[in-house]
Structure 1
Amino acid sequence: MSSEREDVATVLREARACRVCEDVLPHGPNPVLRAGVDARILIVGQAPGWKVHTTGIPWNDPSGDRLRAWMNLDRETFYDETRIAIAPIAFCYPGKDPRGGDLPPRPECAPLWQPRLIAALPRLELILLVGQHAQRYHLGPTRRRTLTETVRAYRDHLPRFLPLPHPSWRNNAWLARNPWFETELLPELRARVHALLG
Protein backbone atom coordinates (compact mmCIF):
# COMPACT_ATOMS: atom_id res chain seq x y z
CA MET A 1 0.00 0.00 0.00
CA SER A 2 1.36 3.44 -0.89
CA SER A 3 1.88 6.24 1.61
CA GLU A 4 -0.94 8.23 -0.03
CA ARG A 5 -4.29 8.24 1.75
CA GLU A 6 -6.68 5.68 0.28
CA ASP A 7 -10.02 6.90 -0.94
CA VAL A 8 -12.79 5.80 1.45
CA ALA A 9 -14.96 4.71 -1.48
CA THR A 10 -12.23 2.29 -2.58
CA VAL A 11 -11.89 0.84 0.91
CA LEU A 12 -15.67 0.42 1.21
CA ARG A 13 -15.95 -1.22 -2.21
CA GLU A 14 -13.16 -3.69 -1.47
CA ALA A 15 -14.42 -4.42 2.04
CA ARG A 16 -17.93 -5.12 0.77
CA ALA A 17 -16.49 -7.52 -1.78
CA CYS A 18 -14.34 -9.33 0.82
CA ARG A 19 -14.66 -13.13 0.83
CA VAL A 20 -11.74 -14.04 3.14
CA CYS A 21 -13.98 -15.85 5.65
CA GLU A 22 -16.45 -17.27 3.12
CA ASP A 23 -15.65 -20.91 3.90
CA VAL A 24 -16.31 -20.52 7.65
CA LEU A 25 -19.34 -18.22 7.71
CA PRO A 26 -22.49 -20.36 8.11
CA HIS A 27 -24.68 -17.87 6.23
CA GLY A 28 -22.06 -16.62 3.80
CA PRO A 29 -20.41 -13.21 3.65
CA ASN A 30 -22.44 -10.01 3.71
CA PRO A 31 -20.11 -7.25 4.95
CA VAL A 32 -22.08 -4.48 6.68
CA LEU A 33 -20.34 -1.14 7.13
CA ARG A 34 -20.74 2.48 6.10
CA ALA A 35 -18.59 5.59 6.08
CA GLY A 36 -18.10 8.94 4.39
CA VAL A 37 -14.88 10.87 4.01
CA ASP A 38 -16.14 13.66 6.29
CA ALA A 39 -17.24 11.40 9.17
CA ARG A 40 -16.10 12.72 12.57
CA ILE A 41 -17.22 9.69 14.61
CA LEU A 42 -16.61 5.98 14.05
CA ILE A 43 -18.68 3.34 15.85
CA VAL A 44 -16.86 0.02 16.20
CA GLY A 45 -19.08 -2.78 17.50
CA GLN A 46 -18.42 -6.51 17.39
CA ALA A 47 -20.19 -8.06 14.39
CA PRO A 48 -23.61 -7.88 12.74
CA GLY A 49 -26.39 -9.92 14.27
CA TRP A 50 -28.88 -11.92 12.21
CA LYS A 51 -31.28 -9.00 11.65
CA VAL A 52 -28.45 -6.74 10.50
CA HIS A 53 -27.15 -9.53 8.25
CA THR A 54 -30.53 -9.86 6.56
CA THR A 55 -31.27 -6.12 6.22
CA GLY A 56 -27.75 -4.85 5.55
CA ILE A 57 -28.38 -1.94 7.95
CA PRO A 58 -25.96 -1.72 10.91
CA TRP A 59 -27.43 -1.46 14.41
CA ASN A 60 -30.88 -2.11 12.93
CA ASP A 61 -32.11 -3.93 16.03
CA PRO A 62 -33.00 -3.28 19.69
CA SER A 63 -29.30 -2.87 20.53
CA GLY A 64 -29.13 -0.10 17.97
CA ASP A 65 -32.18 1.57 19.51
CA ARG A 66 -30.42 1.62 22.87
CA LEU A 67 -27.13 2.84 21.37
CA ARG A 68 -28.96 5.72 19.68
CA ALA A 69 -30.62 6.56 23.00
CA TRP A 70 -27.22 6.53 24.72
CA MET A 71 -25.92 8.95 22.07
CA ASN A 72 -29.16 10.97 22.11
CA LEU A 73 -29.45 10.72 18.31
CA ASP A 74 -32.36 10.10 15.98
CA ARG A 75 -32.10 7.47 13.25
CA GLU A 76 -31.57 10.04 10.50
CA THR A 77 -28.51 11.55 12.18
CA PHE A 78 -27.16 8.17 13.29
CA TYR A 79 -27.28 6.82 9.72
CA ASP A 80 -25.84 9.96 8.09
CA GLU A 81 -22.57 8.48 6.86
CA THR A 82 -21.20 11.94 6.11
CA ARG A 83 -21.13 12.42 9.89
CA ILE A 84 -20.91 8.94 11.47
CA ALA A 85 -19.03 5.90 10.16
CA ILE A 86 -20.01 2.41 11.32
CA ALA A 87 -17.54 -0.44 10.97
CA PRO A 88 -17.64 -3.37 13.41
CA ILE A 89 -14.62 -5.47 14.30
CA ALA A 90 -15.98 -8.10 11.91
CA PHE A 91 -18.23 -7.05 9.05
CA CYS A 92 -20.13 -10.33 8.61
CA TYR A 93 -22.55 -12.26 10.82
CA PRO A 94 -20.52 -15.05 12.46
CA GLY A 95 -23.49 -17.32 13.21
CA LYS A 96 -25.18 -18.57 16.35
CA ASP A 97 -23.23 -19.89 19.29
CA PRO A 98 -24.77 -23.23 20.42
CA ARG A 99 -24.34 -22.01 24.02
CA GLY A 100 -26.45 -18.92 23.34
CA GLY A 101 -26.02 -15.59 21.60
CA ASP A 102 -23.84 -15.14 18.55
CA LEU A 103 -20.35 -16.48 17.90
CA PRO A 104 -17.44 -14.07 18.41
CA PRO A 105 -16.36 -11.89 15.49
CA ARG A 106 -14.08 -13.58 12.99
CA PRO A 107 -10.46 -12.68 13.87
CA GLU A 108 -9.38 -12.19 10.25
CA CYS A 109 -11.47 -9.08 9.67
CA ALA A 110 -10.16 -6.33 11.95
CA PRO A 111 -6.48 -6.47 10.94
CA LEU A 112 -7.49 -6.40 7.27
CA TRP A 113 -9.92 -3.51 7.38
CA GLN A 114 -9.82 -1.37 10.53
CA PRO A 115 -6.46 0.33 9.78
CA ARG A 116 -7.36 0.97 6.14
CA LEU A 117 -10.77 2.42 6.92
CA ILE A 118 -9.51 4.64 9.75
CA ALA A 119 -6.67 5.91 7.55
CA ALA A 120 -9.24 6.85 4.88
CA LEU A 121 -11.22 9.05 7.31
CA PRO A 122 -9.15 12.25 7.67
CA ARG A 123 -11.67 14.12 9.85
CA LEU A 124 -12.21 11.28 12.32
CA GLU A 125 -11.92 12.48 15.94
CA LEU A 126 -13.83 10.00 18.12
CA ILE A 127 -13.99 6.20 17.96
CA LEU A 128 -16.68 4.55 20.07
CA LEU A 129 -15.53 1.07 21.09
CA VAL A 130 -18.71 -0.88 21.78
CA GLY A 131 -17.98 -4.11 23.64
CA GLN A 132 -14.89 -6.05 24.61
CA HIS A 133 -13.91 -7.21 21.11
CA ALA A 134 -13.58 -3.64 19.84
CA GLN A 135 -11.77 -2.63 23.01
CA ARG A 136 -9.35 -5.55 22.83
CA TYR A 137 -8.38 -4.74 19.25
CA HIS A 138 -8.09 -0.95 19.50
CA LEU A 139 -6.84 -0.45 23.05
CA GLY A 140 -4.44 -3.39 23.17
CA PRO A 141 -2.30 -3.32 26.34
CA THR A 142 -3.95 -0.12 27.60
CA ARG A 143 -7.20 -2.04 28.04
CA ARG A 144 -7.98 -2.94 31.65
CA ARG A 145 -8.47 -6.47 32.97
CA THR A 146 -12.27 -6.49 32.51
CA LEU A 147 -14.78 -4.64 30.38
CA THR A 148 -16.15 -2.94 33.49
CA GLU A 149 -12.72 -1.64 34.45
CA THR A 150 -12.01 -0.51 30.89
CA VAL A 151 -15.30 1.36 30.59
CA ARG A 152 -14.94 2.82 34.08
CA ALA A 153 -11.51 4.18 33.06
CA TYR A 154 -12.93 5.77 29.91
CA ARG A 155 -11.18 9.09 30.61
CA ASP A 156 -7.82 7.36 30.12
CA HIS A 157 -8.64 6.78 26.45
CA LEU A 158 -10.10 10.16 25.56
CA PRO A 159 -10.17 12.10 23.31
CA ARG A 160 -9.57 9.46 20.60
CA PHE A 161 -11.43 6.47 22.05
CA LEU A 162 -14.50 6.07 24.24
CA PRO A 163 -15.17 2.49 25.42
CA LEU A 164 -18.77 1.41 25.98
CA PRO A 165 -20.49 -1.80 27.03
CA HIS A 166 -22.56 -3.53 24.38
CA PRO A 167 -26.12 -2.13 24.41
CA SER A 168 -27.69 -5.61 24.24
CA TRP A 169 -30.54 -6.51 26.60
CA ARG A 170 -28.15 -9.17 27.91
CA ASN A 171 -26.32 -6.32 29.64
CA ASN A 172 -29.32 -5.03 31.59
CA ALA A 173 -27.93 -6.52 34.81
CA TRP A 174 -24.54 -4.89 34.15
CA LEU A 175 -26.21 -1.51 33.67
CA ALA A 176 -28.14 -1.96 36.92
CA ARG A 177 -24.93 -2.82 38.80
CA ASN A 178 -23.04 0.14 37.37
CA PRO A 179 -25.19 3.27 37.78
CA TRP A 180 -22.13 5.48 37.18
CA PHE A 181 -22.41 4.55 33.50
CA GLU A 182 -25.65 6.50 33.18
CA THR A 183 -24.74 9.35 35.52
CA GLU A 184 -21.11 9.90 34.49
CA LEU A 185 -20.28 8.35 31.15
CA LEU A 186 -23.46 8.97 29.16
CA PRO A 187 -23.37 12.76 29.66
CA GLU A 188 -19.74 12.71 28.48
CA LEU A 189 -20.66 10.59 25.46
CA ARG A 190 -23.56 12.85 24.49
CA ALA A 191 -21.56 16.04 24.92
CA ARG A 192 -18.71 14.79 22.76
CA VAL A 193 -21.00 13.37 20.07
CA HIS A 194 -23.07 16.52 19.79
CA ALA A 195 -20.02 18.79 19.82
CA LEU A 196 -18.54 16.87 16.89
CA LEU A 197 -21.80 16.76 14.95
CA GLY A 198 -22.49 20.44 15.51
Structure 2
Amino acid sequence: MIRVVIADDQSLVRTGFHMILDETGDIAVAGEAADGLAALTVIARTEPDVVLMDVRMPGIDGIEATRRLRATAAADDPPHVIILTTFDLDEYVYDGLRAGAAGFLLKDTLAADLVSAVRTVAAGQNVAAPTVTGRLIRHFVGTAPRAPDTTALAVLTVRERDVLALIAQGMSNREIADALLLAEGTVKTHVSRILAKLQLRDRIHAVIFAHQHGIA
Protein backbone atom coordinates (compact mmCIF):
# COMPACT_ATOMS: atom_id res chain seq x y z
CA MET A 1 0.00 0.00 0.00
CA ILE A 2 1.34 3.44 -0.98
CA ARG A 3 0.85 5.96 1.83
CA VAL A 4 0.27 9.58 0.82
CA VAL A 5 0.07 12.91 2.65
CA ILE A 6 -1.82 15.75 0.95
CA ALA A 7 -0.63 19.28 1.79
CA ASP A 8 -2.82 22.05 0.35
CA ASP A 9 -4.43 25.11 1.91
CA GLN A 10 -7.70 24.54 0.02
CA SER A 11 -9.94 22.00 1.71
CA LEU A 12 -11.84 21.26 -1.50
CA VAL A 13 -8.59 20.35 -3.25
CA ARG A 14 -7.56 18.04 -0.41
CA THR A 15 -10.99 16.40 -0.42
CA GLY A 16 -10.89 15.89 -4.18
CA PHE A 17 -7.42 14.36 -4.16
CA HIS A 18 -8.37 12.21 -1.18
CA MET A 19 -11.40 10.79 -2.98
CA ILE A 20 -9.42 10.09 -6.16
CA LEU A 21 -6.65 8.25 -4.34
CA ASP A 22 -8.98 6.29 -2.05
CA GLU A 23 -10.67 4.73 -5.08
CA THR A 24 -7.46 3.08 -6.30
CA GLY A 25 -7.20 0.21 -3.84
CA ASP A 26 -3.40 0.41 -3.61
CA ILE A 27 -3.05 4.02 -2.36
CA ALA A 28 -4.10 5.26 1.09
CA VAL A 29 -4.16 8.85 2.33
CA ALA A 30 -2.25 8.83 5.63
CA GLY A 31 -2.85 12.47 6.50
CA GLU A 32 -3.63 16.00 5.36
CA ALA A 33 -2.22 19.46 6.11
CA ALA A 34 -3.24 23.02 5.25
CA ASP A 35 0.21 24.63 5.39
CA GLY A 36 3.87 23.74 5.09
CA LEU A 37 4.66 23.61 8.79
CA ALA A 38 1.68 21.38 9.52
CA ALA A 39 2.74 19.20 6.58
CA LEU A 40 6.14 18.57 8.15
CA THR A 41 4.45 17.57 11.42
CA VAL A 42 2.00 15.22 9.70
CA ILE A 43 4.77 13.69 7.58
CA ALA A 44 6.92 13.03 10.66
CA ARG A 45 3.97 11.34 12.37
CA THR A 46 2.66 9.24 9.48
CA GLU A 47 5.87 8.45 7.52
CA PRO A 48 4.25 8.44 4.06
CA ASP A 49 5.82 7.21 0.83
CA VAL A 50 4.65 10.21 -1.22
CA VAL A 51 3.66 13.78 -0.41
CA LEU A 52 1.44 15.89 -2.67
CA MET A 53 2.76 19.35 -1.85
CA ASP A 54 1.03 22.56 -2.92
CA VAL A 55 3.39 25.42 -3.74
CA ARG A 56 1.48 28.38 -2.35
CA MET A 57 0.49 27.81 1.28
CA PRO A 58 0.43 30.13 4.30
CA GLY A 59 3.50 30.33 6.50
CA ILE A 60 6.03 27.89 5.05
CA ASP A 61 5.32 27.32 1.38
CA GLY A 62 5.61 23.98 -0.39
CA ILE A 63 9.10 24.64 -1.74
CA GLU A 64 10.54 25.48 1.67
CA ALA A 65 8.69 22.57 3.27
CA THR A 66 10.20 20.24 0.65
CA ARG A 67 13.66 21.66 1.26
CA ARG A 68 13.36 21.17 5.02
CA LEU A 69 11.95 17.68 4.59
CA ARG A 70 14.83 16.57 2.39
CA ALA A 71 17.40 18.22 4.66
CA THR A 72 16.15 16.79 7.95
CA ALA A 73 15.24 13.31 6.75
CA ALA A 74 17.89 12.66 4.10
CA ALA A 75 19.48 9.84 6.08
CA ASP A 76 16.14 8.15 6.79
CA ASP A 77 14.84 7.71 3.24
CA PRO A 78 12.43 10.70 3.17
CA PRO A 79 9.17 10.51 1.22
CA HIS A 80 9.06 11.49 -2.42
CA VAL A 81 7.47 14.89 -3.04
CA ILE A 82 5.24 15.81 -5.97
CA ILE A 83 4.87 19.57 -6.30
CA LEU A 84 1.33 20.59 -7.25
CA THR A 85 0.55 24.06 -8.49
CA THR A 86 -2.16 25.99 -10.29
CA PHE A 87 0.49 28.22 -11.80
CA ASP A 88 2.73 26.83 -14.55
CA LEU A 89 5.65 29.12 -13.70
CA ASP A 90 9.33 28.40 -14.26
CA GLU A 91 10.42 29.72 -10.87
CA TYR A 92 8.37 27.06 -9.07
CA VAL A 93 9.76 24.30 -11.26
CA TYR A 94 13.41 25.28 -10.82
CA ASP A 95 13.11 25.97 -7.08
CA GLY A 96 11.23 22.71 -6.55
CA LEU A 97 13.86 20.76 -8.46
CA ARG A 98 16.63 22.28 -6.38
CA ALA A 99 14.68 21.57 -3.18
CA GLY A 100 14.59 17.87 -4.07
CA ALA A 101 11.09 17.36 -5.47
CA ALA A 102 10.59 14.14 -7.43
CA GLY A 103 7.74 15.39 -9.58
CA PHE A 104 5.80 18.40 -10.83
CA LEU A 105 2.15 18.40 -11.82
CA LEU A 106 -0.45 21.06 -12.47
CA LYS A 107 -3.59 20.86 -10.35
CA ASP A 108 -5.76 20.50 -13.42
CA THR A 109 -4.08 17.20 -14.31
CA LEU A 110 -6.44 14.31 -15.01
CA ALA A 111 -7.30 11.98 -12.12
CA ALA A 112 -5.69 9.03 -13.91
CA ASP A 113 -2.48 11.00 -14.42
CA LEU A 114 -2.40 11.98 -10.74
CA VAL A 115 -2.75 8.36 -9.66
CA SER A 116 -0.10 7.28 -12.17
CA ALA A 117 2.27 9.98 -10.90
CA VAL A 118 1.89 8.82 -7.29
CA ARG A 119 2.64 5.22 -8.27
CA THR A 120 5.60 6.24 -10.43
CA VAL A 121 7.18 8.41 -7.76
CA ALA A 122 6.59 5.80 -5.06
CA ALA A 123 8.57 3.38 -7.24
CA GLY A 124 11.54 5.74 -7.16
CA GLN A 125 11.06 7.41 -10.54
CA ASN A 126 10.41 11.03 -11.42
CA VAL A 127 7.41 12.60 -13.11
CA ALA A 128 6.74 15.97 -14.68
CA ALA A 129 4.01 17.50 -16.75
CA PRO A 130 5.11 17.56 -20.42
CA THR A 131 5.31 21.36 -20.44
CA VAL A 132 7.56 21.26 -17.38
CA THR A 133 9.97 18.70 -18.86
CA GLY A 134 10.26 20.62 -22.11
CA ARG A 135 11.04 23.89 -20.39
CA LEU A 136 13.56 22.28 -18.06
CA ILE A 137 15.49 20.97 -21.04
CA ARG A 138 15.36 24.31 -22.85
CA HIS A 139 16.40 26.18 -19.70
CA PHE A 140 19.36 24.00 -18.76
CA VAL A 141 20.42 22.87 -22.21
CA GLY A 142 19.16 25.19 -24.92
CA THR A 143 17.67 24.18 -28.24
CA ALA A 144 20.79 23.81 -30.41
CA PRO A 145 21.59 20.17 -31.33
CA ARG A 146 24.86 18.81 -30.01
CA ALA A 147 27.20 16.08 -31.17
CA PRO A 148 27.51 13.13 -28.77
CA ASP A 149 30.16 13.70 -26.08
CA THR A 150 31.96 10.34 -26.05
CA THR A 151 34.36 11.41 -23.31
CA ALA A 152 31.61 12.11 -20.79
CA LEU A 153 29.88 8.84 -21.69
CA ALA A 154 32.99 6.66 -21.50
CA VAL A 155 32.06 5.36 -18.05
CA LEU A 156 28.82 3.84 -19.40
CA THR A 157 28.45 0.51 -21.13
CA VAL A 158 26.76 0.37 -24.54
CA ARG A 159 23.55 -0.91 -22.94
CA GLU A 160 23.62 1.84 -20.33
CA ARG A 161 23.92 4.42 -23.11
CA ASP A 162 20.89 2.87 -24.79
CA VAL A 163 18.93 3.10 -21.56
CA LEU A 164 20.00 6.71 -20.97
CA ALA A 165 18.86 7.69 -24.45
CA LEU A 166 15.41 6.24 -23.76
CA ILE A 167 15.24 7.93 -20.35
CA ALA A 168 15.86 11.19 -22.19
CA GLN A 169 12.84 10.46 -24.37
CA GLY A 170 10.67 10.35 -21.26
CA MET A 171 10.18 6.58 -21.19
CA SER A 172 9.34 4.76 -17.96
CA ASN A 173 11.25 1.67 -16.84
CA ARG A 174 8.48 -0.55 -18.22
CA GLU A 175 8.58 1.19 -21.61
CA ILE A 176 12.37 0.92 -21.74
CA ALA A 177 12.15 -2.77 -20.86
CA ASP A 178 9.68 -3.34 -23.70
CA ALA A 179 11.79 -1.36 -26.18
CA LEU A 180 15.04 -3.17 -25.35
CA LEU A 181 13.49 -6.58 -24.64
CA LEU A 182 14.75 -6.58 -21.06
CA ALA A 183 13.21 -7.41 -17.70
CA GLU A 184 12.00 -4.35 -15.82
CA GLY A 185 14.25 -5.27 -12.91
CA THR A 186 17.25 -5.24 -15.26
CA VAL A 187 16.30 -1.76 -16.45
CA LYS A 188 16.06 -0.54 -12.85
CA THR A 189 19.59 -1.85 -12.26
CA HIS A 190 20.86 -0.05 -15.36
CA VAL A 191 19.20 3.20 -14.27
CA SER A 192 20.75 2.98 -10.80
CA ARG A 193 24.20 2.36 -12.29
CA ILE A 194 23.81 5.24 -14.76
CA LEU A 195 22.90 7.68 -11.98
CA ALA A 196 25.78 6.45 -9.82
CA LYS A 197 28.39 6.52 -12.58
CA LEU A 198 27.39 9.98 -13.81
CA GLN A 199 26.83 11.26 -10.25
CA LEU A 200 23.27 12.34 -11.05
CA ARG A 201 20.59 12.72 -8.41
CA ASP A 202 17.56 11.50 -10.32
CA ARG A 203 15.97 10.85 -13.71
CA ILE A 204 15.24 14.51 -14.38
CA HIS A 205 18.95 15.28 -14.07
CA ALA A 206 19.64 12.28 -16.31
CA VAL A 207 17.36 13.78 -18.98
CA ILE A 208 19.20 17.09 -18.75
CA PHE A 209 22.59 15.34 -18.90
CA ALA A 210 21.57 13.36 -21.97
CA HIS A 211 20.48 16.46 -23.86
CA GLN A 212 23.59 18.35 -22.78
CA HIS A 213 25.80 15.60 -24.18
CA GLY A 214 23.95 15.03 -27.42
CA ILE A 215 22.57 11.55 -26.93
CA ALA A 216 18.86 12.32 -26.62
Question: Is TM-score (shorter-chain normalized) higher than 0.5?
Answer: no
TM range (shorter): 0.3 to 0.5
TM-score (norm: length of structure 2): 0.32
Higher fraction of helix: 2
Of structures 1 and 2, the one with the larger relative CO (CA 8 A, separation 6+) is: 1
TM-score (norm: length of structure 1): 0.34
